[in-house]
Structure 1
Amino acid sequence: MSPTRPDPLKAPDRPYLALGLEGSANKLGAGIIQHLPNDEVNVLSNVRHTYITPPGEGFLPRDTALHHRQWALTVIKDAIEKAGVQMRDLDCICYTKGPGMGAPLQSVAVVARTLSLLYKKPLVGVNHCVGHIEMGRQITGASNPIVLYVSGGNTQVIAYSQQRYRIFGETLDIAVGNCLDRFARVIGLSNDPSPGYNIELMARTGGKDGRRPLRLVPLPYATKGMDVNLSGILTMAETLTMDPRFRANPTEEELRDEGMDIFTPADLCFSLQETVFAMLVEITERAMAHVGSKEVLIVGGVGCNERLQEMMGIMAGERGGNVFATDERFCIDNGIMIAQAGLLSYRMGFRTALEESTCTQRFRTDEVHVSWRA
């Protein structure tokens, strides 16, 4: 790896193009981004294909890696065609170095190395979390926000300082996306388009029992200073599905009778979201107070959740601040976020040597030298 320049990023002296490849979990993405001399950034293409399992099942690393290998050429060709460029036009090929699931990461790293050798293009290994942050900053225009990074594998509260993204708080066990996804599978919700989205839908509409107000079922509230525990909440929610008061398919009479002490899958989805999101809002507000920030940027797949955005907006509004978030094109894992963070690194002189173009399941956000920020 070549050393980075100490000076902050300057406007490019010519157009730059990068291909980004993402495959740290069940989403395979390829995107092409362009940086222009006027500091304009163009998303030329952003293609994604998701490995979806049957209801009640998660995705195994081996099967997910097979999916990525089978779809890699199709997704990359589609991204190139939609961008209207050729492989020879690229300045660099960026890929997710980590964190993530080992086998899927390796599959995408092999594809990136192969393309690098075939077309003689330099490689740039990218931290998945930093990719989310940089794409979020680019799309929303947030200048120096507190970042809440919430996804299937990560839950962190982050702030920038001295060319590092510093972690102020995080989950001590499982990530918020993992918590929601696992509960969705327990109650048999579909994995299409994602279990977390279907939990959000149930919590918003009430599902089949939307004819009565949803009930807030008490769940453990577990903040530990700036950190959170989520495994206990998940265990309690799962245990409640075996409670005699739980009704998987309530009758009309049960729904109408307010005296009946029952709760439904929709009640538990609603309660799980409200409790977990309240914890995340709390630790984010503490970070805002500590650094004096008025901005919150929500990134990661769970960042698409409208209820989380709403709750965070209430808190930020009370502090005279703002919340920034993107839609599913950029919140959910995608190739363009890897292209963006990788191209920023490339323009600062960073390269990943072929013999070092490995991947890792553990790659902390604060390990990355953010050389492109002053």
Structure 2
Amino acid sequence: MADRTFLDWPFFESRHAAFHDELDQWAANALVTIDHSDTDAACRGLVKLIGDAGFLKHTAIDPDEENSGIDVRTICLMREIMARHDGLADFVVAMQGLGTGAISLFGTDAQKRAWLPRTRAGDAISAFALSEPRSGSDVANLELSAVRDGDDYVLNGEKTWISNGGIADVYTVFARTGEGEGARGVSAFLVSADTPGLNVTERLEVIAPHPLARLAFVDCRLPASAMIGRPGEGFRIAMSVLDVFRSTVGAAALGFARRALDETLARAANRELFGAPLSELQMVQGHIADMALDIDAAALLIYRAAWTRDNGAPRITREAAMAKLYATDKAQSVIDKAVQIHGGDGVRKGHITESLYREIRALRIYEGASDVQKVIIARQALQAATGAAP
């Protein structure tokens, strides 16, 4: 079992340690039999399985509970544990949270009651539709248009690299409504998958199979009540949601890295080279030391960001960017060392280290690529030093 001493850090309360142990035990028993041969079916099954177990309730607020909120530390623990056991289970948890984040934080009572009980129970699948063919990390440059027509908005354009695209029941969609230039002219909408004019035009395959799609909006008509927040608030809504869930991307990377270290420790103890266990070789010990150091440093950044958000900070742009950048980059390095120590087995299809090697790479791209996180961190530092706008 992965190290759990970090649960004694002051970032956590006793309920977090209890939740960690409950979920970890459940995942160890429930996720071992998941059939990954059909990715869409596996995702649908995992949503239902995790929802029935009651864990998806942590991904969104409870619309029936006064002052209900999102506990970022709990979601980080969920993603870390799921990623350590099964990458697709982590994906499911992430998308149920990210896809409904705008509803939890900015939705009307009607929007919350229509969708959150269903996504929290695993009865509906959610998606977050932000990226476009010519606009990925540059959110302010998106082109999908939403034109007001009486009491409706009509959407035309495309989205791509949309996780859960093709299997989602509801999409949070960001479109240009034109209240101003760039980021000032973007709004957010809640779009049911069965809305006429919304079409899945391409399913996208990647090295670690997940349901991804390209979407087309052709005269897709929505009532004005489908807007989340007010006109022109879409960029702020998107950034607020990413503030919350960017830290959890780092947590997923941490889960992958912890699994890689566990596998490496077992390999080093049980595999012999030149008449002695691998663990007695100083170079192997050096790799293990680097892996352990990177994991603890990443965990500190992740749970600092989550703790800061849970304790009332309205935005954690700097902290979340640092957590995501460091954790994903270092997890890549940890997993690469694990592959090296496993030798040929490390690149054998179906081996856990080979799977981890494929799973980790996308985390350095989605929800803001590593290079973009560096820009964000630098701008925040310059703003703090000079008082200039970031």
TM bracket (short chain): under 0.3
Q: TM-score, normalised by structure 2?
A: 0.24
Question: Which structure carries more helix by proportion?
Answer: 2
Which is bigger in relative contact order (C-alpha 8 A, separation at least 6)? Answer: 1
